[in-house]
Structure 1
């Protein structure tokens, strides 16, 4: 079974303009223009302002800028700082990113139990990559007690969102499970409903590498 790994991808909108402008003038369109026209210094000022105001999407975007070194020098510690703040504020891509960081030991001490915790938070919001990785963690007993039924449930859910990797993982895992176990996992997947954080922005599945 394989997992999904990805660099933090800038997704959805960049929601600010330069902090030297009145906050009333901030528009999504202006911020998009700064970033997508490669005006990274201006984009950084916008994003940093909104991130410090507590906007989860901007906190995630700021982590991306620190990770890529766009408009600011690369800084792993600040990448993790802002990624964690966004994750704590319910941002599913950030939760996935923090989970991946703890699993790989990127900018933090490797901690599989903590990785599972963050994958669960993102998976519960319907994040297909987190669901796939969580399935592998349950399937292998990494950071959590091994549970094939729980693993298959998460693979089924990720596969239903279009993840080919999760679909392949489910097929491989099911070959080693009883018919009753498969039925139980499928029933759990069918009954599952996403639990969105109150202040989280839903993100498109196109941000997930399949």
Structure 2
């Protein structure tokens, strides 16, 4: 039987770096002899002349797209995105508060202890932001805070409080909260043991495609 699925709902997309593909310009140098490019300055939006003369217009266009993919030129940096997220969170935006909590929990947002030492993650600050968001009825934050109480991370362990928060999120359709609520009922943690209610919540989560809930249902048979 699976116990609590410890998953935080990430609200900040991961940044990905992609390398540019390279095209053989049709080098005719002898094998083993490196081709020497002429000294020239090429901006990030230009193609070196030695390549430009060898390419068709279509190939030039394709190569330029690899060198400088199309996109907004004023896209915010990760730091700017974090500053804006914190600004929105401090202004009371529940989604931003939950997202900020996730960043502090995972260590994406840097925190320091009282001595100035950098922390790898900060569950206490994370829980504080989840509290603010959950108090506004934001389901993802209720689920995340429920996990904190269930595992005793950033807050004192309190299975009953975890059940209360999972219940609120589950009733809003949060599939992971539904599965975890089923686990709490099955195990009798924070709530009297009740297999019928456990099965009820597992079925609701499984109906939404949750594989863990389906596995829990199968394990109960």
Relative to total residues, which structure has the larger helix share, 1 or 2?
1
Post-superposition Cα deviations, 1:19-55, rounded to whole Å, max 9, x if no partner, equal xxxxxxxxxxx9xx43xxxx33211210111111111
Contact (CA 8 Å) 1:44, 1:72: kept in 2 or not? no
1:115 maps to 162
- Tell me, yes or no, if structure 1 residue 134 matches structure 2 residue 181: yes
Aligned mates of 2:8, 2:166 — CA distance in 1: 16
Shift of 1:4: 1.6
2:85 maps to 47
Q: Which has the higher contact order (CA 8 A, sep 6+)?
A: 1
SS in 2 for 1:60: helix
- Tell me, yes or no, if structure 1 residue 68 matches structure 2 residue 115: no
| Runs of 4+ off more than 4 Å | none
Post-superposition Cα deviations, 1:133-178, rounded to whole Å, max 9, x if no partner, equal 10011011111001111110000000000011111211222x2xxx
Structure 2 counterparts to residues 11-90 of structure 1, below 5 A: 33-34=75-76, 39-73=77-111, 74-90=121-137
TM-score by length of 2: 0.64
- Tell me, yes or no, if structure 1 residue 7 matches structure 2 residue 8: yes
Shift of 1:8: 4.3
Shift of 1:72: 3.4
Aligned mates of 1:77, 1:8 — CA distance in 2: 17
Label 1:78 to 1:111 Cα distance change in 2 as closer, same or farther (>3 A). same
Structure 2 counterparts to residues 144-163 of structure 1, below 5 A: 144-163=191-210
Label 1:71 to 1:114 Cα distance change in 2 as closer, same or farther (>3 A). closer
Aligned mates of 2:97, 2:122 — CA distance in 1: 14
Aligned mates of 1:43, 1:69 — CA distance in 2: 16
Aligned mates of 2:106, 2:187 — CA distance in 1: 32
Shift of 1:97: 0.5
Contact (CA 8 Å) 1:83, 1:98: kept in 2 or not? yes
SS in 2 for 1:107: coil
Aligned mates of 2:166, 2:192 — CA distance in 1: 15
What 5-or-longer segments of structure 1 have no aligned partner?
Answer: 13-29, 176-210
- Tell me, yes or no, if structure 1 residue 124 matches structure 2 residue 175: no
Label 1:71 to 1:138 Cα distance change in 2 as closer, same or farther (>3 A). closer
Label 1:109 to 1:164 Cα distance change in 2 as closer, same or farther (>3 A). same
TM-score by length of 1: 0.67
